[in-house]
Structure 1
Amino acid sequence: MDCQFEFPLSEKFRAYLRLDYLLRRLFKAADNADWPFFTALFDLLDVLERGDIKAELIKDLERTIEQLGRWAAMPGVDAEQLSGLNKELQGHRQWLLTQQRLPPGWRDDPLLMALRARFSVAGGDAPFDLPQLACWQQRSAVLQQADVAAWLDKVEPVARALGLFLHLVREGGRREQVLARNGFYQASAENLVLLQLAGLPAGLYPSVSGHRGRYTVRLMALGDDGETTAVADDIPMVLTHCSWQ
């Protein structure tokens, strides 16, 4: 089975991918509101408090809407599909514009804020450290899931907006088969923000460095003992270059 990897090549998209990862982790852990769920929730809150992701996402949604407008003038384009995408993007943009902070309401929740103060401590969810959490977990499953659903409702629009934007960027990627000679590959690019790698044999992983204009890939082998070594063989792989203005 081959392995697939994705790397951001701009700080903004690094933040986007980290946010997307945490949102997925949060929703996946929602069925069992325990340590992994709250860890993902507070990690997500920390990421949202760094920089102004909301403003950047609004700008990128607006650029995408403008791009759809240019595509609509091209012959052979599915106008109905473009119209649906435009409507969805406009809705996400409008919701984000109405929010003062992301996610709305979490910082006003006394239970979440009481828990957050202890979750940075290793083992800080022990009952003697967080009696509020122990008490909350003794509530019925129905009441717990009602609270979880209310918390998730605050970030679901963010997840949908970011997920759609990243999907469109990825779908616009340029895919090609390349050869990493002696396990090494480098290339120039224009406005590159995401690099996807596929087709690598199991046991190999890429170490990627670079920026929007140029990048390098060094293939590494992960041994059974956990040690890593640079690959010296010629390895074919599939690269997808995803660009954004």
Structure 2
Amino acid sequence: MIVYEYPFNERIRTLLRLEDLYEKFNFFYHQTHPLQHHAALATIFEMLEVAGRADLKSDLLQELERQKQTLLSFKSNPNVQADMLDAILSEVDRTSSALMASQGKTGQNVRENEWLMSIRGRTIIPGGACEFDLPSYYAWQHRPAEARSADIATWFAPLAPLFEAISLVLRLLRESGRPAKMIAQSGSYQQMLQGKVYQMLRLAIDESIGAIPEISANKYMLWIRFTSQDGDMKPKPLESDVPFDLTLCNF
């Protein structure tokens, strides 16, 4: 199954973008080639661009506190597994404390590093990080992989609490919904939302069907149109019925 996710607001859109960048960073960071470490560092720069909103940290702290209060209300419910609930509450507390303890603006340590900022300025230019543009960076790329990894880990460390909070918030959001089996008749599906507010949609579809969803939504209506790709990758509408799983998520 391929899972597609669609954010209903700008806040969730930002969190999903940062989650995607974090996955890319993790992949390239754990490699050893200098070009892969260049990609990891460039991804940190992208993270700073996306996470530049000053209220992102406070938004996450408020959401974690709200989730904590919601979870605490389940304490008296006999149908809730107490050990699992306590584990989640402990994770929320630990994540909130780490995020609260992080000082300054997101990525301030990177912004205050003139050497890193010189690299960031050149990476914006196509082909701008060549050896003749940044000889000191070229020399750094020739250091042992372990040394480069240690440097990247040091530069990323102040960002880690933010991404742990993003991961937890998105996990709780995804777990808030229950999948329902749907059929898009003649490749099209509509659902009235009747003003109910959702944060995110998740759509799971069998990969073998070859259907690609194009999703649009507002607080009144959800619309999904399935397409397929031909040889030159140009999308064309699907006219057959398409089965899929739909999950509407909301805190």
Q: With structure 1 as the length reference, what TM-score do the two structures score?
A: 0.92
What residue is the counterpart of 2:163 in the other structure?
159
- The number of aligned residues is 243
Counterparts of residues 178-197 of structure 1 (less than 5 Å): 178-189=182-193, 190-197=196-203
What residue is the counterpart of 1:105 in the other structure?
109
Counterparts of residues 73-88 of structure 1 (less than 5 Å): 73-88=76-91
What residue is the counterpart of 1:227 in the other structure?
234
- Rate the CA distance shift 1:91–1:158 in 2: closer, same or farther, 3 A: same
What residue is the counterpart of 1:93 in the other structure?
96
Counterparts of residues 59-74 of structure 1 (less than 5 Å): 59-74=62-77
Distance 2:104 2:42 in 1: 24
Deviation per CA, 1:8-66: give whole Å up to 9, x if none: 11111001100111111111110245332122111111001135211211111111101
Structure 1 ranges of 4+ moved more than 4 A: none
Distance 1:66 1:214 in 2: 30
Structure 1 residue 191, shift from structure 2 partner: 2.2
Counterparts of residues 204-215 of structure 1 (less than 5 Å): 204-215=211-222
Distance 1:122 1:34 in 2: 18
What residue is the counterpart of 2:22 in the other structure?
23
Q: With structure 2 as the length reference, what TM-score do the two structures score?
A: 0.90
Structure 1, unmatched stretches of 5+, are none
Structure 2, unmatched stretches of 5+, are none
What residue is the counterpart of 1:119 in the other structure?
123
Counterparts of residues 37-56 of structure 1 (less than 5 Å): 37-50=40-53, 52-56=55-59
Q: Is the 8 A contact 1:193 1:212 kept in 2?
A: no
Aligned residues: percent identity? 29
- Rate the CA distance shift 1:161–1:82 in 2: closer, same or farther, 3 A: same
What residue is the counterpart of 1:175 in the other structure?
179
- One-letter code aligned to 2:130: A
Deviation per CA, 1:207-243: give whole Å up to 9, x if none: 1111344321111111122111111111111111111
Q: Is the 8 A contact 1:188 1:214 kept in 2?
A: yes
